[in-house]
Amino acid sequence: MNKITILTLFPESFEFLKSYGVIGKAIEKGLIEINLVDIRDYSKDKHNRVDDTVFGGAAGMLMRPQPIYDALIANKSSKSKVVYMSAAGEILNQKLAIKFADFEDLVIICGHYEGIDARITNHYVDYEVSIGDYVLTGGEIPAMVLIDSLSRFIGGVVGKKESLVTDSHYNGLLQYDEYTKPRNFNGYMVPKELYSGNHKIVEEWQKKSSLQKTKRVRRDLYDRYIKEDHDGINQKNRK
């Protein structure tokens, strides 16, 4: 079982994540355990305040270190890896999601206001993770994105393991185009290769579609993939 503990000011925001969809079913099966911790419960302020002004005169309020530290110490183990969701962190990608899926005990800190005191991130956090080069009002939504992405790589969570292998970004490329019935929709046809009945032809079409789509939509990924293709196996698919 993978245990995920979330330190947040808004634990109720995660109830939907816990109750529905793939993650909800994984919790029911005992594959994932999600624990919600309200940081305010650890505040020593008589008014349960968890934020304060920033030294140096910067605008906004910052989360105090004490409530976060106490919540962290009370809920982590020696095996825990601590992640802080931060716009300044490493961008979440498929490789990072797979890495986090291997951790049996993950603690995720969700910041708010202007963020959290740097003494927490500098001394008690193992990874700072961002979901993109933009700023949100809190770390709850990024935490949900991280949990959703990593959970798919926990054994038994996704029904067919093959679907993970064909996902976008799994091998550095975007997933090939997919089609369902009818074959003709408003004059747009499903590529004949996909219903040829020949597995090799289907596979070749999928590889070509994946490369073409990546080149068109994410040229940065395409160029990186081609650059790393040392044995030249994709030479014939570059056009």
pLDDT at 158: 86
pLDDT at 231: 41
Question: Which string of b and e fits 155-172 if b means at least 16 CB within 10 Å?
Answer: eebbeeeeeeeeebbbeb
Does the structure show a pLDDT above 90 at 235?
A: no
CA 124 to CA 73: how far, in whole Å? 10
Does the structure show a pLDDT above 80 at 76?
A: yes
pLDDT at 171: 79
Element holding 120 (H helix, E strand): helix 118-123
CA 146 to CA 32: how far, in whole Å? 14
Full 3-state SS string of 156-181: CCCCCCHHHHCCCCCCCCCCCCCCCC
The candidate with the shortest Cα–Cα distance to 82, out of 112, 126, 141, is 126
What is the per-residue pLDDT across 38-58, written as a single tens digit (0 to 9) for each? 999 999 999 999 999 999 988
The structure's pTM equals 0.84
The full set of domains in the chain, from first to last, is: 2-151 (3.40.1280.10), 166-237 (1.10.1270.20)
Does the structure show a pLDDT above 80 at 6?
A: yes
Mean pLDDT of 198-202: 97
What is the per-residue pLDDT across 116-157, written as a single tens digit (0 to 9) for each? 999 999 999 999 999 999 999 999 999 999 999 999 999 999
Instruction: Tell me 131's DSSP state.
Output: S
pLDDT at 25: 93
Instruction: Tell me 112's DSSP state.
Output: B
Q: Going by DSSP bridges, is the β-strand pair 2-8/32-38 parallel, antiparallel, or unpaired?
A: parallel
Residue 47 phi/psi, 5° resolution?
Answer: -105, 10
Q: Going by DSSP bridges, is the β-strand pair 127-130/184-185 parallel, antiparallel, or unpaired?
A: unpaired
pLDDT at 1: 86
Does the structure show a pLDDT above 90 at 228?
A: no
Per the annotation, where are the binding residues for S-adenosyl-L-methionine? Answer: 111, 131-136
Residue with tokens 């095996």: 79
Does the structure show a pLDDT above 70 at 19?
A: yes
Mean pLDDT of 33-37: 98
Per the annotation, where are the binding residues? Answer: 111, 131-136
Torsion of CA 166, 233, 238, 185, to 10 degrees: -30
pLDDT at 230: 34
Mean pLDDT of 195-199: 96
pLDDT at 58: 87
Residue 127 phi/psi, 5° resolution?
Answer: -140, 135
End-to-end CA distance of the chain: give it in Å, rounded. 45
Give the rounded percent of residues in the chain with a pLDDT score beyond 70. 90
Element holding 61 (H helix, E strand): strand 61-63
pLDDT at 212: 96
Element holding 27 (H helix, E strand): helix 21-28
Q: Is 29 exposed, middle or buried (0-12, 13-18, 19+ CB in 10 A)?
A: exposed
Structure tokens given for 37: 């911790």
Does the structure show a pLDDT above 70 at 161?
A: no
